[in-house]
Structure 1
């Protein structure tokens, strides 16, 4: 038995052994990997023909599960939360989730369907804000530079760096820029380190701040705390939302140009609306538009917000926080929505989330990438050094 990894690579092969020499046609091939007698994948990969005349379907076709998922399936428990007797180790490159189909009700008795993987990184540790300040004062790992707003640009000729003579603070518009040192071609000259920030331009070490990898706060990560709420319908009126939009208003670089100024004013307007508009209503369209400006770095700023709030994964539809939310809900959809919440509830069955208290939510890619030293990710020893007060239970 073997697993197809890639299909339909077309190669020129002879039409048949009896065909005239030189006669070829494009034939489909699939990259495959064999299973051993224990059901584990072997390392060797090979190409096989996909022509129907050479292939025979045998048994049920199914997607191959990573080894840790196979172990989970072996427990024989489905549609329920279960804790394995021993920790399941996930190897680099393994899938950590799968595409599931989410169905939502629409008008006229119709539904919308979307397929995606929902992955979250959560923490119940109250020390998260302190963690962002690198309490272990770790200096290992990647380095970054942050450009001063008054920085001066230099050019390089041979081994000599010369000031361009530009006035008016030429990098003022990029004063929030943070760049990885290894991408800036650092050079030593005249007792200083110089960083390349353009095809022909350099900055002196005097005009940048050097930031360590684990000074996450300096790299733009910020901790926001939502007030405990008994009404999920009022979440947009809470203080953490105002803090979040306030940070966006500052970080979209309003000094760069008119579009950035407009967006900064837009976010300030959102704050004003929350302060003065007592119904606190912001439409889905408004919120979506507010966060979809990749060219201004908005999504990057938002991805570095670590927010502590109550989760919809705790309590189900009967929890008091949903009472007001469902009071004026569409009568045709309410049963569907409540069943969805009940089916997705899992936190009450898993420590340390069983208390229902608010938990920290981090971007699963951006946050973990910030911690990783290399492609293998951050190790136990590295985490222990970053946060020396943490116990083994905290880290595992």
Structure 2
């Protein structure tokens, strides 16, 4: 059986625009700002097998309802759920519970109600790095306290949309399709419209247009009044008209049977039984003009009884050219997409074949079947889900206090396994030992220095601590083609290669992961009375070991603090003690990484009921004035438990930190780009002065490889095939216009029409030596004048906005487009229109290429294969009319065949 390496995703994005975190470290640093819900032990000393993500750190994933409690908490500024919680790995949903609304899960407290959601999703995953099941692991990710169904049911009519960005509108269909379309004006962003069944496509730009009705009186972009009820035509695909719903529903809801979803009357959800073509208009259906295909299992919704949204077309005989009708008819329906495809976005409408052979309905049927609310559902057929798919949003969560309540929005995430995790982290098949990913070093190793001449010299110093670093990021001095010395930056020197231990990505035990298997008498681990001789003791022992290995000045007392607490536990000297003392030691920021690498086998609070000893031992202590807490907790346990009902789950699973564990096993190429690789990409670089530029290039990619979708070897091959051709063999971040006289006339129409100027501005040669370079400023001002948003020759725009970046931006309009995109993706206050030369700096040079790579979703094309046709498709997106298709294929083949990006 070949290796099984699922794709992985972080559970939340880095901002409300959806940009991914650049690394696990960046996400963990962000989550370090959470005030509660840390891994293994909660702030009240209770067992806590997962992590919390709340609106404190990730507010763009929170979603509000119209409840009075939420309005008070949010100061009438509800959370909009701009982004969703994402599934962390490819897998299948094996159990879930959808809370209908907060009232259905409410718990009484102090003459009032505490509102929370008991929604959860359990996703089953499998990874097998080696060739046999010996190296395999089945594990689960759990997402709890997700926003309830009612948070998504607050939608206006299904056909009501809002204009996303200002866009043209037309008074008639003829004005849309004219040779020179005649716009009547521009609709402002946010204008509410109602869709109709009248849809056309425009051949000139392959865009879809819909006749829409203005919902309310408004003004256009020029300030002209438009009455409510006015009908106009406007572009309606590629997410230009967004749903007026508060937030998109979780994508997996459409796959449930019956499906969850707030649809208009007569609208049904369905998934495709097989891949089919889609069409932008009914006319395109009849003509057979399709921009792409939807794959098997694709979710959509449609109205099967709406004749106005249906057409028929003769089925064509297979294998006939030209196609001949077979006599049978297919029905096509206007359908709403349930997720993005190509340039189209979720919520866009297209025409698809809708006969029963092609669609599997997932909406409640006429028999009256309804989706299940507030109960655990184990689907008869597991629901497939991919890494990055939407799971849901942070739900509102009220917690009791002695005198009231406190509130937040949260999702509780766990990573669990019932398999032999201890065996898995030992890398039983030794996968990856031939391609190590990390370098491990120990204290006491001899350190070397590197002098100004680049020579390695001995020193009297030795390494002070142990550590693990990503091998691809470690500078190396080679002897021949073999590493001789490695630089250990945190130690301020170099170590001999013989002293370095090179380890595989999958050797998790060598990378510091440790398994703890010590049960507890109850979920109350640190009660302030009995010394915590339970899993807390073993966690403290792990942290003590980390503190002993910490030789940093000012940190020496940490190990003694851990030793003191462990001695108190061993003394069995029970009595009143400070819970906070233990919690501070457990959550010491200096050793958080060590804590997050602990894998703990422990009873789960989602398995046991209130009468089971794990809970009852604690609940029985809540007497007298604390009895109300017992009543609350018993109700909480009844509403939240689920694990006993799910086959395959046991009472004491292994618990892993979801971000740390999954990012460690992810099939990523994260952080693997090196300067040496770039010297192979840009083979014409001769000067060592270019190294600082290349280092900036490498750092920008490595620090953001996942966010930039440059996290596999195949993606790097495709990306740099384009970058190499755009920048040339010498890695120039600015377009070269150093042409000969003939070159100018052959390349540019301007100089063919003005041959005397070609002679004036071209380079001059004496023999074979260029004695005077071409006047590149003058050339750029002429060839790019009155194009691409530039002014005339005298404006100087041509040279100011000449091609720059790793994938060249050319022309003022393209600089302006990048400028706007940059604000949403990176947020720094850089203005490339005012300072175009910034694109010559390594960081911004990279980002200019990422602009194309992400905006056009070129990484998705790259994932389809490693051949010339895929390269050509990407090239067509980058520079459709270039004459360099063959060159770009050649770059890709060289990188692929020479394994340039394989560590």
Deviation at 1:81, TM superposition (A): 1.3
Structure 2 gaps, min length 5: 1-79, 84-164, 168-186, 198-206, 208-216, 221-225, 229-240, 261-370, 669-705, 713-903
Deviation at 1:310, TM superposition (A): 0.4
Does residue 196 of structure 1 match 2:492? Answer: no
**Residue 425 of structure 2: aligned partner:** 132
Does residue 362 of structure 1 match 2:656? Answer: yes
Correspondences of 1:317-336 after superposition (within 5 Å) = 317-329=610-622, 330-336=626-632
**Residue 178 of structure 1: aligned partner:** 468
Task: Name the Cα RMSD after superposition.
Answer: 3.8
**Residue 445 of structure 2: aligned partner:** 151
| CA distance in structure 2 between the aligned counterparts of 1:320 and 1:231, rounded to whole angstroms | 7
| CA distance in structure 1 between the aligned counterparts of 2:617 and 2:421, rounded to whole angstroms | 31
Deviation at 1:234, TM superposition (A): 5.6
The partner residue of 1:226 within 490, 506, 518 is 518
Correspondences of 1:21-170 after superposition (within 5 Å) = 53=219, 61-72=245-256, 74=259, 76-108=371-403, 110-125=404-419, 127-139=420-432, 143-156=437-450, 160-163=454-457, 165-169=458-462
| CA distance in structure 2 between the aligned counterparts of 1:60 and 1:301, rounded to whole angstroms | 45
**Structure 1 pair 291/83, CA: closer, same or farther in 2 (3 Å)?**
same
Q: Contact 1:159–1:189 (CA<8 Å) still a contact in 2?
A: no
Tell me, what secondary structure is at the counterpart of 1:115?
Answer: strand
Q: Larger radius of gyration, structure 1 or 2?
A: 2
Q: Contact 1:184–1:195 (CA<8 Å) still a contact in 2?
A: yes
Tell me, what secondary structure is at the counterpart of 1:70?
Answer: helix
**Structure 1 pair 85/142, CA: closer, same or farther in 2 (3 Å)?**
farther
Q: Contact 1:195–1:204 (CA<8 Å) still a contact in 2?
A: yes
The partner residue of 1:343 within 639, 644, 653 is 639
Q: Contact 1:97–1:117 (CA<8 Å) still a contact in 2?
A: no
Q: Contact 2:468–2:511 (CA<8 Å) still a contact in 1?
A: yes
| CA distance in structure 2 between the aligned counterparts of 1:204 and 1:12, rounded to whole angstroms | 61
| CA distance in structure 1 between the aligned counterparts of 2:637 and 2:606, rounded to whole angstroms | 7
Q: Deviations over 1:181-226 (max 9, x none)?
A: 0111334225434323339743321221111111111100000002
Tell me, what secondary structure is at the counterpart of 1:361?
Answer: strand
Q: Contact 1:176–1:253 (CA<8 Å) still a contact in 2?
A: no
Q: Contact 2:540–2:562 (CA<8 Å) still a contact in 1?
A: yes
**Residue 286 of structure 1: aligned partner:** 581
Structure 1 gaps, min length 5: 14-26, 38-43, 45-50, 379-396
| CA distance in structure 1 between the aligned counterparts of 2:456 and 2:243, rounded to whole angstroms | 72
| CA distance in structure 1 between the aligned counterparts of 2:618 and 2:582, rounded to whole angstroms | 19
| CA distance in structure 2 between the aligned counterparts of 1:70 and 1:100, rounded to whole angstroms | 20
Query: TM-score by structure 1 length?
Result: 0.72
Q: Contact 1:154–1:161 (CA<8 Å) still a contact in 2?
A: no
Deviation at 1:328, TM superposition (A): 2.7
**Residue 205 of structure 1: aligned partner:** 497
Q: Deviations over 1:43-63 (max 9, x none)?
A: x9xxxxxx9756999996321
Tell me, what secondary structure is at the counterpart of 1:373?
Answer: coil
Tell me, what secondary structure is at the counterpart of 1:167?
Answer: strand
| CA distance in structure 2 between the aligned counterparts of 1:332 and 1:196, rounded to whole angstroms | 60
**Structure 1 pair 231/118, CA: closer, same or farther in 2 (3 Å)?**
closer
Query: TM-score by structure 2 length?
Result: 0.33
Tell me, what secondary structure is at the counterpart of 1:243?
Answer: helix
| CA distance in structure 2 between the aligned counterparts of 1:321 and 1:158, rounded to whole angstroms | 64
Deviation at 1:269, TM superposition (A): 1.7
Count matched residues. Answer: 332
**Residue 865 of structure 2: aligned partner:** none
| CA distance in structure 1 between the aligned counterparts of 2:474 and 2:657, rounded to whole angstroms | 26
| CA distance in structure 1 between the aligned counterparts of 2:607 and 2:577, rounded to whole angstroms | 24
Deviation at 1:178, TM superposition (A): 0.5
The partner residue of 2:508 within 216, 221, 229 is 216
Tell me, what secondary structure is at the counterpart of 2:255?
Answer: helix
Deviation at 1:244, TM superposition (A): 1.7
Q: Which has the higher contact order (CA 8 A, sep 6+)?
A: 1
Q: Contact 1:224–1:307 (CA<8 Å) still a contact in 2?
A: yes
Q: Contact 2:440–2:467 (CA<8 Å) still a contact in 1?
A: yes
Q: Contact 1:97–1:119 (CA<8 Å) still a contact in 2?
A: no
Q: Contact 2:446–2:461 (CA<8 Å) still a contact in 1?
A: no
| CA distance in structure 1 between the aligned counterparts of 2:532 and 2:508, rounded to whole angstroms | 28
| CA distance in structure 2 between the aligned counterparts of 1:59 and 1:182, rounded to whole angstroms | 44
Tell me, what secondary structure is at the counterpart of 2:509?
Answer: coil
**Residue 18 of structure 1: aligned partner:** none
Does residue 303 of structure 1 match 2:303? Answer: no
**Residue 543 of structure 2: aligned partner:** 248
